[in-house]
Amino acid sequence: MNGEQRREQPAVRVTADTSRCVSSGQCAVTAPSVFDQDEAGQVVVLAAEPVGRAAEQAREAAARCPVSALRLHPAR
């Protein structure tokens, strides 16, 4: 008997360097389930280990960030 529930494993782990963020908002627009902005416009990571389409959007957002504040690492 195998009662283990299969879940989609995170492909990436997302981190944001808020000291670099210039509040452009590209990330929140590109990957709204992964990134948001606080009242000052600074990036907030909503989902540190996105899966599926959200992971793809996170990669795209990292590529679009004008100051390279977003990093994607292999999921643990």
For binding to ligand SF4 (CB under 6 A), which residues are involved? Answer: 16, 21-27, 37, 43, 65-67, 69-70
Between 23 and 46, name the residue whose CB sits nearer to ligand SF4: 23
**Which of 26/57 has CB closer to ligand SF4?**
26
Closest CA to 71 of 7, 4, 17: 17
CA 69 to chain centre: 11
- Work out how close the CB of 73 gets to ligand SF4 at its nearest, in angstroms, rounded to a whole number: 16
List the one residue out of 39, 9, 32, 28 whose CA is nearest residue 69.
Answer: 28
Query: Cβ closer to ligand SF4: 25 or 46?
Result: 25
